[in-house]
Amino acid sequence: MKMNIGFLSFLLIILLPIKVYGASGSLFIVFSGEETGNLEPCGCYEGQIGGISRRYTFIDSLRRKKDVVLPVSLGDLPKTVGRQDEIKMEIFCRAIGEMNYILHNLGEKDIEIGPQLLNYLSHTNKTVFLSSNIQLVDSFPLKINQYVLKECFVSGHTFKIAFLGILSKSLLNNNVLEYVNVKDPVQTLKPLVKQLQEKVNLIVLLSHAPFAESIEIAKCFPEIGLIITGHNIEEPADLITYINNTPIVSPGIEGKHIGIARYSINNSELERKSIGVIPLDSNYKDSQEMISLLKEYQQILADEDLLSKIPQAPLSNGLSYVGSSTCGICHKIVYDHWNKTTHGTAYDTLVRKGYQYDPECIQCHTTGYGYISGFLNYENNSSLINVGCESCHGAGSTHIKYVTESYGVTDESSCVICHESEHSPKFQYGEYWKKIKHPEEIVKKLPETME
């Protein structure tokens, strides 16, 4: 019987304990997950939290105290499928490698990115992929560990910790199931927990599943000492739950928070002292190591010219963009006022940060990006930089050809395309409109011969 190479690598992998030393008396299991492409806060407003740069600083602060620190990732590094998310996945894997993460439990977004990239990353990065119930039905020799075992030395004592990981089938789409076999989590965990419980001091489960599903798993396995879970949980600190004295805790979404479980030594035993989730706010400075990696990410976007490679949708009725300077010919007073607003300098804010080649940012800082005749790159479309007249009022080619009073009517619906909850949570239409409200202009009646 022919057996798949990837399946063989999954079954035959032999995990030897990896030794970790600490001089102080504490052991920390640090956990993150569900970043879904958020390498850093976008910077659209003050007070944003999260990002790999602050996370590095937090983890490094623990290590400087000579504590044993075991960072783990719950899964879902990318958000969707596409070249930019592939680049992000690589950057994320390099980042968690530099932070000395011991594993990354595969989530559905990681699986959806495709077996080719996962295979490449599993062989070229320090990242250790974990999944106890996932098998790839593919010829790629992807390295996935069924469990990860760590041997730690704390205050003169040796402890062994086993990490298991599952992915709920409910989160996977049908297309992915063509190359992935998903076993039932409970049936998968039964033999593994039985095998490990007599050999280790602590079993940790990374459960990439809805919170309710993880609670049911906890009821089946009181031997598990910590379950890291959650899916789409925005306020993770409010949702820490205990089943059979086992904490079930989530790191939240978008990399905004980081979870931490602290253990100490009590009568030669590993004892849990605290469990919590904290926001990665401005109290944690950006690390130079991650700043350099983020700059490299932006350079890759520029080098690959991703801006020019996105699909461009056609505009209705044969319309096309003409640029704000064209509008300024007739509407000079309004145009001069617009130039002094934040809309009129929106592109410059990206240039100052070095994000002007990032497709995810450029859409709300230029005019018509994503549409035929809209902004594509600065070299070819410098007249369409910034949030111009046509961003709110629509493509103006017909208006300049056949001047009509009905053109340009707009309302709040045009604003919330960019001023949505993620990037502009404090948006209030009435207050924001005051900042960009056009000054009164004298509209001269056209001579009868031109009407």
In a domain, 20, yes or no: yes
Alpha helices in 107-207, H assignment, sequence order? 108-112, 115-124, 185-196
> Mean pLDDT, to the nearest integer, of 151-172?
94
- In three state form, how does the secondary structure of 95-117 look? HHHHCCCCEEECCHHHHHCCHHH
Q: Do 264 and 413 reside in the same domain of the chain?
A: no
Query: Are 76 and 165 members of one domain?
Result: yes
pLDDT one-digit tens code per residue, 182-240: 999 999 999 999 999 999 999 999 999 999 999 999 999 999 999 999 899 999 999 99
d(CA 381, CA 272): 59
pLDDT in tens, 345-388: 999 999 999 999 999 999 999 999 999 999 999 999 999 999 99
- 360 lies in the same domain as 257: no
Q: State how far the alpha carbon of 401 is from the alpha carbons of 385, 404, 450, in Å.
A: 22, 9, 13
Pair (255, 361) in one structural domain: no
**159: β partners:** 152
What CATH number does residue 367 fall under? 1.10.1130.10
Among the candidates 271, 297, 323, a domain finishes at 297
pLDDT of the residue at 139:
61
Q: Is 18 a residue whose pLDDT tops 80? A: no
**Mean pLDDT on 102-129:** 92
Is there a single domain that holds both residue 185 and residue 328? no
Q: From 268, 297, 326, give the residue that closes a domain.
A: 297
Query: Does residue 222 lie within any of the structural domains?
Result: yes
Amino acid (one-letter) located at 182? V
CA distances (Å), origin 260, targets 2, 235, 240? 45, 15, 12
Query: Which secondary structure element, helix H or strand E, spans residue 62, and what is its range?
Result: helix 52-63
Domain membership of residue 425 as a residue range: 312-436
Asked if residue 332 has pLDDT above 70, the reply is: yes
Query: Could you tell me if 288 and 320 lie in one domain?
Result: no
When pLDDT is cut at 50, 70 and 90, the band that residue 324 belongs to is very high
Given this model, what pLDDT does residue 140 score? 64
Of 41, 51, 31, nearest to 250 (Cα)?
A: 31
Q: Which of 10-24, 108-122, 261-275 has the lowest mean pLDDT?
A: 10-24
Q: How many helices and strands, by DSSP H and E, does the chain display? A: 17, 15
> Does residue 416 sit within a domain?
yes
Assess whether 68 and 163 both reside in one domain. Answer: yes
| Per-residue pLDDT band at 443 (split at 50, 70, 90) | low
Domain of 214, CATH number, reads 3.60.21.10
- Whether residues 185 and 236 share a domain: the answer is yes
**How many structural domains comprise the chain?**
2
Answer yes or no: do 96 and 220 share one domain.
Answer: yes
Burial 335-353 (b: 16+ CB within 10 A, else e): bebbeeeebbbbbebbeee
Same domain, 54 and 125: yes
pLDDT at 421: 85
What tens digit of pLDDT does each residue of 293-311 get? 999 999 999 999 999 998 9
Choose from 156-160, 290-294, 446-450 the range with maximum mean pLDDT.
Answer: 290-294
Q: Looking at the structure, tell me whether residues 37 and 186 fall in a common domain.
A: yes
**Average pLDDT for residues 271-279, to the nearest whole number?**
96
Mean predicted lDDT score pLDDT of the chain = 90
In a domain, 305, yes or no: no
Cα separation, 278 vs 49, whole angstroms:
10
- Identify whether 268 is part of a domain: yes
Q: What is the mean pLDDT of residues 62-76?
A: 95
**Residue 44, C-beta contacts closer than 8 angstroms, at least 6 positions apart:** 423, 424
Identify whether residues 292 and 379 lie together within a single domain. Answer: no
Proportion of the chain above pLDDT 70, given as a percent: 92
pLDDT class of 122 with cuts at 50, 70, 90: confident
Is the per-residue pLDDT at 138 higher than 90? Answer: no
Residue 129 belongs to a domain: yes
Q: How confident is the model at residue 22 (pLDDT cuts 50, 70, 90)?
A: very low
Angle at alpha carbon of residue 57, lines to 158 and 24, rounded to 5°: 25
Structural domain contains residue 418:
yes
Domain boundary among 231, 264, 297: 297
Structural domain contains residue 206:
yes
